[in-house]
Amino acid sequence: MTAIKESSTRNFNKGVALTSCPVTFVMEKIGGYWKPIIIYHLMSGPKRYSELKRAIPQITEKMLIQHLKQLQADDIVNRVAQAVVPPVVTYSLTKPGEDLFTVLDSMVDWAVKNGSV
Amino acid sequence: MTAIKESSTRNFNKGVALTSCPVTFVMEKIGGYWKPIIIYHLMSGPKRYSELKRAIPQITEKMLIQHLKQLQADDIVNRVAQAVVPPVVTYSLTKPGEDLFTVLDSMVDWAVKNGSV
DNA sequence: ATGGTTACATACTTTGGGGTAAGTACTTGT
DNA sequence: ACAAGTACTTACCCCAAAGTATGTAACCAT
């Protein structure tokens, strides 16, 4: 076990840059491979866990819940579980989550204008 | 050396999802920790390599040129070098690069509304 | 001739995101 | 009795991104 240097750039960034740069703040929330894809699928309405899984066949279950939990912690998605068997868990976008539409939309705009698809 | 499975999700994604999802397309260009920060600093006008370095003290030189080269390859920044000594290299945003303002701006909007800063 | 400046390059290491595979709890259908 | 469905959990592995550290070429000023 090698101790991590207290003065490392990594540590410095964690404390300063991450919270002070709004763009990085957003990247923290919707960055990564799967998050925008999950959010996109929730934009067409609330979905069950299994519906999301079927909608995004390439994602592994681990990645799916992992990101759903993170999005939940970031107040981007809501989780509603019914105490029945088999379990029924529904995910939906929160208000902040829905507001991300503007962001994703501007991204799509740019992508379309600049050679994607 | 273990061979990578041809059918792995990783490979599948490289070929399909990356190019077919416009949001992921944008993430490929401006995702990562430093890229948006570099782009942000270029939005206030062309900058020399050394000016960027001073403007972003926490970045290492390796990260700086690495991302500048990538942004160049993605046609987001221009590089103009003067054949003098000591070298003078100026980086500026291309048209697509400037168009990212809309995207970054919507991110900042969202961040401000949702608890950043 | 030595140090400073500028814009890189390169070898090595660490870290975290993502992938694979397998297991769990509970109940219904056959 | 056993497979199947639902919503997870867990252990383990791999690789790419990021960080650390050092070197280089060219010239100028002292």
Using CB atoms within 10 A of its CB, is residue B57 exposed (0-12), middle (13-18) or buried (19+)?
exposed
A19 sits within 7 Å of strand D by its CB: no
What pLDDT score does B5 carry? 43
Mean pLDDT of chain A: 85
Mean pLDDT of chain B: 86
Alpha-helical (H) ranges within A1-117 are 9-15, 17-20, 22-30, 35-43, 49-55, 61-73, 95-113
The better pLDDT of the pair A10, B29 is held by B29
- Whether B7 is in a domain gets the answer no
Alpha-carbon distance of B103 to B100, in angstroms, equals 5
- Whether A5 is in a domain gets the answer no
Judge whether A64 and A56 are in contact, CB under 8 Å: yes
Give yes or no for residue A79 having a pLDDT over 70.
yes
- Whether B115 is in a domain gets the answer no
The total of structural domains in chain B comes to: 1
A62 sits within 7 Å of strand C by its CB: yes
- Whether A2 is in a domain gets the answer no
CA of A37 vs chain B CAs: smallest distance (Å): 8
Q: Does A37 contact B17 at a Cβ distance shorter than 8 Å?
A: yes
The tens digit of pLDDT for each residue in A5-58 reads 444 454 444 444 445 688 989 999 999 899 999 999 999 999 999 999 999 999
What pLDDT score does A49 carry? 96
Residue B35: give its domain's CATH number: 1.10.10.10
The tens digit of pLDDT for each residue in B92-105 reads 999 999 999 999 99
Kindly state the helix (H) or strand (E) to which residue A88 belongs, with its residue range: strand A88-93
- Whether A94 is in a domain gets the answer yes
A44 CA to C9 C1' distance (Å): 48
Beta bridge partners of A80: A90
Give yes or no for residue A86 having a pLDDT over 60.
yes
**Can you give the residue range of the structural domain that contains A54?**
11-113
Closest CA to A104 of B40, B117, B38, B27: B27
Judge whether B86 and B71 are in contact, CB under 8 Å: no
Interchain CB contact of A34 with B (< 8 Å)? no
